[in-house]
Amino acid sequence: MAHSTSSWTSSTTRVEAYRDAVVAILLIAAVAVAGISGAAAPASAQSPASSSLPRTLLLSPTTLAGVRTAVQAGSSPYDEAMAALRRDAVRALAAGPFSVMAKAQVPPSGDRHDYMSLARYYWPDPTKPGGLPYVQRDGETNPEIDTIPDKQQMNGMISAVSTLALAFYLTGEEPSAARAGVLIRAWFLDPATRMNPNLELGQGVKGKEPGRPTGIIDTRGLAEVVDAVGLLQGSPAWTAADQRGVEDWYRAFLDWLLASRNGRGESAATNNHGVWYDVQVVSMAFFTGRADVAQRTLTDVRQKRIAKQIEPDGSMPRELQRTTSAGYTQFNLEAFAALAALGDAAGVDLWRFETTDGRSIRRAIAFVLPFVRDGRPWTRTQIKAFDPASYYALLIQADSHYPDLKLAELADRLGGPASRSSRANLRFGRPMRSATHR
């Protein structure tokens, strides 16, 4: 059933009410918190859970705990990264709320709570009346995708929540936790603004199909929200009811991923889509108490993903076929690294797995090093500019697993002085003294 205009107006009013009431309170509170201006919060202001490890999956709990200890001790090798995080947190305090109800379009389902998006690389067919059905132009983004704001809304929520949750965990500043809670409730829990837990209408192609299995890659960032929720534990702003509600939403979405036509189709994908699908399934399965699903998926990664997508020389042919092959190679490496991190949480070592003929994540990273490290030209199609410095986060994440590759040294060289303020240093425990401390 289609929602009436009055229903949409009511939802819009709710979102605006969040913004007007909560943002004002939190911004005032943030100014009052010493940490926002650069000093660590006093011990009395720290989270009740400050002595325990965070409940994270993509990020190492012990690494994060070590970073927090250094940050709260005062002057630390993370000073510049923390300064950048604090600036981002202040902006995130004023962001959102975000909602699928922000779109003007009524989805084919008739329910605005259903997420919808358009396929990025599909354009009107100039040889057909009305341009329908749209045709693919790989690597060329059709700006029409921005006419449906659901993806931007979701990515905005993921970015703000991840920023605020990390800021709260590292500093104990409650305004950050409170605002993260507001944004999470608006997206997942509030009946007026929540997203329905399915992706039936992701990356539709006009004139062909309203939604496709490939649309599931739109929600890959929801795994980061799982970690964000784990970082909020111990804050009074995050209640047991909030936790149960979000777990119920993720449980329903996981069931849809596993059973739906789109979900089964994405599971069968033999490129980065399949790897990012597994990242979502494993993260959500652990989060909702389905350890059996997570363990089975991680075990299958070795033959289903690594053995089938990575060649003995480390190349990934499905990504090299793309018109932006350098970008997609990096994108799939990031997905494999995320899966390997999830494997760490489950005792499944994907970082060191290797087939008898040498297919492995390590080999895939080594494959790009002549291009990233040595400056050799990328010989496959790449129709857009590509900056090797964008490998910075992946390199420092993988460094401890492959010390012989000297990835951290390469990351420092690629990132230059700006890398000292990278959030990846906080996420993966890469200490870097600021220039003033050298």
Mean pLDDT along residues 318-347: 97
What b/e sequence results for 300-315 when a residue is b if at least 16 CB atoms lie within 10 Å of its CB, and e otherwise? Answer: ebbebbbbebbeeebb
Q: Does residue 358 contact residue 312 with C-beta atoms inside 8 Å?
A: yes
Query: What pLDDT, on a 0 to 100 scale, did the predictor assign at position 38?
Result: 39
Per-residue pLDDT at 412 exceeds 70: yes
Query: What pLDDT, on a 0 to 100 scale, did the predictor assign at position 76?
Result: 82
Structure tokens at 240: 């047991």
Q: Using a CB cutoff of 8 Å and minimum separation of 24, what contacts does 19-25 make?
A: 19/96, 19/97, 22/178, 22/179, 22/182, 23/93, 23/94, 23/179
Query: What pLDDT, on a 0 to 100 scale, did the predictor assign at position 41?
Result: 36
Per-residue pLDDT at 302 exceeds 50: yes
Higher pLDDT, 95 or 434: 95
- Residue 124 pLDDT class (50, 70, 90 cuts): very high
Q: How many of the other CB atoms lie within 10 Å of CB of 193?
A: 23
Mean pLDDT along residues 294-319: 98
Pairwise CA distance, residues 354 & 189, whole Å:
42
Of 100, 96, 103, nearest to 114 by C-alpha is 100
Mean pLDDT over the full length of the chain: 89
Query: What pLDDT, on a 0 to 100 scale, did the predictor assign at position 158?
Result: 98
163-221: pLDDT as tens digits? 999 999 999 999 999 999 999 999 999 999 999 999 999 999 999 999 999 999 999 99
Per-residue pLDDT at 88 exceeds 60: yes
Q: Does residue 275 contact residue 283 with C-beta atoms inside 8 Å?
A: no
Q: Does residue 30 contact residue 173 with C-beta atoms inside 8 Å?
A: yes
Q: Does residue 238 contact residue 225 with C-beta atoms inside 8 Å?
A: no
Query: Any residues with CB less than 8 A from the CB of 180 and at least 6 apart, and which?
Result: 160, 161, 164, 165, 168, 228, 232, 237, 238
Query: What pLDDT, on a 0 to 100 scale, did the predictor assign at position 39?
Result: 37
pTM of the model: 0.89
- Residue 52 pLDDT class (50, 70, 90 cuts): confident
Q: pLDDT over 70 for what percent of the chain?
A: 87
Amino acid at 177: A
Mean pLDDT along residues 55-75: 94
